[in-house]
Amino acid sequence: MALVELAKYYDSLSAGVVQSRLEADGIETILFDMGMTLQGGGVAIPVRLMVDEDDVPRARRILSEAADSAGSG
């Protein structure tokens, strides 16, 4: 299993929402640097959403479909 970075988020809430969405579809995720973000401004280290390299295409498709359905509401 090789982890790859799927996305970066500058707030932990967004990272957690996306993590939950992927895990609901059976994709295991890990959030790196979760405690390093500074809510409310300043310099922030992004939260990195990591997935197994074999799950990347499916994870991207799930996130794309979620974004499309959110935009059509």
- Structure tokens given for 3: 């982890």
Q: Number of structural domains, the chain?
A: 1
Residue 8 lies in a domain: yes
Q: Which residue has the tokens 């990195």?
A: 48
Residue 42 lies in a domain: yes
Strand pairing category for 3-9 and 47-52:
antiparallel
Residue 67 lies in a domain: no
Residue 11 lies in a domain: yes
Higher pLDDT, 19 or 10: 19
Q: How confident is the model at residue 34 (pLDDT cuts 50, 70, 90)?
A: confident
Residue 70 lies in a domain: no
Residue 31 lies in a domain: yes
pLDDT of residue 45 exceeding 70: yes
Q: Domain of 30?
A: 3-53
Average pLDDT value for the chain? 87
Phi, psi at residue 26, to the nearest 5°?
85, 15
Residue 39 has a pLDDT of: 56
| Phi-psi domain of 68 (left: phi exceeds 0; alpha: psi -120 through 50; beta: other) | alpha
Residue 31 has a pLDDT of: 95
Residue 43 has a pLDDT of: 60
Q: How far apart are CA 1 and CA 69, in angstroms?
A: 31
